[in-house]
Amino acid sequence: MKEPMVYLREDTIAALSTPQGRGAIAIIRMSGPQSLDICNQLFQPSGKINVDHARMLCHGVIVDPENGKIIDDVLCAAFPAPNSYTGENLVEIHCHGSEAVVHKILDVLYHGNARPAEAGEFTFRAVRNGKMDLTQAEGLSALIESRSQLARALSLRMLEGEFTRILAALKEAIISALVELETQIEFPDEAAEETLGRHLREQLANLIRQINEIRKRAVREQRFEQGIIVVLAGRPNVGKSSLFNRLLGRERAIVTPHPGTTRDSLEGTIELNGRPVTLIDTAGLRETCEEIEAIGVKRSKELLTTSHIILFICDVSTGPVDEDRSLLSELSQHASESRVVLIANKRDLCSDPRQFDTLRLDMPKWPLVTASAAEEHGLEELLEVLSHEVTELVPADTDSSFMTTARQERLLSLIEEKLEQAYCSALENVLMELIAEDLRSALRSVSELDGSESATDIMNTIFSRFCIGK
């Protein structure tokens, strides 16, 4: 982590904003009090439009001030303060994406009195200068890292200030209750004490409802970072790898008619209802003397205990066997936190429909679907049930939900705890000073959430997770 003073400087910074590596176009960003002057020293416009024309792309060349030689043919745009991303004078240089070109342009910028930006320093300056608050900055970080359409939509709501507005309303309500309480502490009115006490309890109850609603709408970012883990399990040769390949839409696993073909776990990612899902194909679960296969079976059992959803696959053409029942009993004990979906696979080979009834009677605890990797529409029922299970685990919609980080979730939990503590104290007629302290503590947590009272080390930790140039 960088020293706190690095982010607090008010000098001029520069960095590559687009990904490292060769490409058609690269964008270099420079922000700070000297950014326009530095750019004017290096940029020679090809026409009458130059960087003094705010918010216009100007064509020209960047030259090396030491020898006057052209470095690259570029487009430049200037964004004078305060109407820029950072709230400072900001310049963007659109150059060719060669690493040699980018390196040389950055070199002349640094020699011109800019310094290399730290990770997230442009966004830090945007927060410092009031262009966004901390929750919006975290929303931007989540948007950059989003792996699914739902994650993108929820992150965008954060960036657009939805969480900011919710926190502002909560903060206003806490302040209102605190003002009334502290007024009564400073200027006691025994005649009005009972009425004020009743009103305070109502205010606190409303605040608790407010924070409960916020937490209900919050979706943990971790669910989107890791994705929902779905493990395909079952005894050997029931068709796990064939279903795995069909779900992925490509041949990821080797499929043969011989039991024990899959020796180790294989992973692939799909998206269901906007949620990222990591599918894991595992080695068939059975007792084996073959050393490599035994290692794969052990690994499979470990994965079952960390999965969110287990797709337990049976061969419906043979019906459930004792080995299936034994494995399901083991699942109940060692993977009790996971959701289980039973799959009656190879339905295209099943000549007796009563086999499905046998499965349902033998295993009534979990949902049962039929499937066939061989049929064109053999996975429709499975995908429908799996989509439902995934949505249940991440119940979010783009109209009311928003993304929260682990830091934000911790602070929301702390706010809820302090408000409930204040409410219980009010019911028990505890000293008003103690209730006021709980409200002040809740208010500090709200301020830490939006960044209005965040410690420098916390800010450094948050912005160090950004890429350099953002």
Q: Above 80 in pLDDT, residue 287?
A: no
Q: How far is residue 46's CA from residue 28's CA, in Å, rounded to a whole number?
A: 20
Q: 247-251, 386-390, 411-415 — which one is most confidently predicted on average?
A: 411-415
Q: Looking at 129-236, list the stretches that DSSP marks H as alpha helix, in order from N- to C-terminal side.
A: 134-145, 149-159, 162-186, 193-217, 221-226
Q: 149-158, 219-228, 437-446, 451-460 — which one is most confidently predicted on average?
A: 437-446
Q: Above 50 in pLDDT, residue 261?
A: no
Confidence of residue 253 (pLDDT cuts 50, 70, 90): very low
By C-alpha distance, which of 180, 268, 287 is closest to 227? 268
Please give the average per-residue pLDDT across 63-67, as a whole number: 93
- The ranges assigned to domains in the chain are 4-133, 137-220+405-451, 227-393
pLDDT, one tens digit per residue, over 40-49 is 999 999 977 6
Name the fold adopted by 4-133: Gyrase A; domain 2 (3.30.1360)
pLDDT, one tens digit per residue, over 175-205 is 989 888 888 777 776 655 666 678 888 999 9
Confidence of residue 398 (pLDDT cuts 50, 70, 90): low
Identical fold for domains 4-133 and 137-220+405-451, yes or no, is no
Confidence of residue 412 (pLDDT cuts 50, 70, 90): very high
Q: Above 80 in pLDDT, residue 210?
A: yes
Q: Above 50 in pLDDT, residue 174?
A: yes
Q: Above 80 in pLDDT, residue 433?
A: yes
pTM, rounded to two decimals: 0.71
Residue with tokens 């103690």: 434
By C-alpha distance, which of 110, 94, 122 is closest to 463? 122
Tell me 431's DSSP state. -
Task: Give the DSSP per-residue string, 71-116.
Answer: EEEEEEEEE-TTSSSSSS-EEEEEEEE-HHHHHHHHHHHHHTT-EE
pLDDT for 30 equals: 97
pLDDT, one tens digit per residue, over 71-93 is 999 999 999 999 999 999 999 99
Max Cα separation, the chain? 87
Residue 287 phi/psi, 5-degree rounding, is -75, 130
CATH 3.40.50.300 fits 227-393, yes or no: yes
pLDDT for 3 equals: 54
Superfamily holding 137-220+405-451: tRNA modification GTPase MnmE domain 2 (1.20.120.430)
